[in-house]
Amino acid sequence: MLVQEDYKTHNHVKFLVNYHFVFIPKRRRRVLTGDVATRLRQIFLELAIEKEWDILALEVAPDHVHLFVSAKPTDTPYLIVRAFKGRSSRYLRQEFPELCKMPSLWTSSYFVSTAGNISSEAVRKYIEDPHHASN
């Protein structure tokens, strides 16, 4: 069951919007290790604070990233992933010259899935519940 703290409020809207993103370095190179991985986490955390997004989970593997983030309903998945990939690519390539040997840090593709605290089946049952019928 959802508790009140799970929802956020912004400009007359109460919401819970969570996205799971997965994206990979160009040619799936194993470059996200050591100091690069540490700095990538820092960049993501700084960006999330700036954009008022909450990182719910973050895994940086050598050849891919899993990012579970809570965002405002006005922020599209494309805008979110573009912000994370764009800023991290720019900063990492400036700070780690060996990454400049790659044509770009990230591929242009990504995976995204929405997630919440309740299942689609629970929502369907709630909507179909007879207590919603007009009298």
pLDDT at 134 (0 to 100): 45
Asked if 88 and 43 count as a contact pair (C-beta separation under 8 A), the reply is yes
Is 3 a member of any domain?
no
Provide the number of structural domains found in the chain: 1
Burial of 133 from C-beta contacts in 10 A (0-12 / 13-18 / 19+): exposed
Asked if 55 and 48 count as a contact pair (C-beta separation under 8 A), the reply is yes
Is 101 a member of any domain?
yes
The 3-state DSSP class for residue 23 equals: strand
Q: What is the pTM of this model?
A: 0.84
pLDDT at 97 (0 to 100): 96
pLDDT at 103 (0 to 100): 94
Give me the domain span that covers residue 95: 9-132
Is 89 a member of any domain?
yes
The per-residue pLDDT for range 18-62, each reduced to its tens digit, is: 899 999 999 999 999 999 999 999 999 999 999 999 998 999 999
Q: What is the C-alpha radius of gyration for the chain, rounded to an integer number of angstroms?
A: 18
The per-residue pLDDT for range 61-78, each reduced to its tens digit, is: 999 999 999 999 999 999
Is 71 a member of any domain?
yes
Is 57 a member of any domain?
yes
Cα separation, 102 vs 109, in Å, equals 16
Is 32 a member of any domain?
yes
Asked if 96 and 8 count as a contact pair (C-beta separation under 8 A), the reply is no
pLDDT surpasses 80 at 121: no
Is 1 a member of any domain?
no
Cα separation, 23 vs 32, in Å, equals 12
CATH number of the CATH domain containing 85: 3.30.70.1290
Is 4 a member of any domain?
no
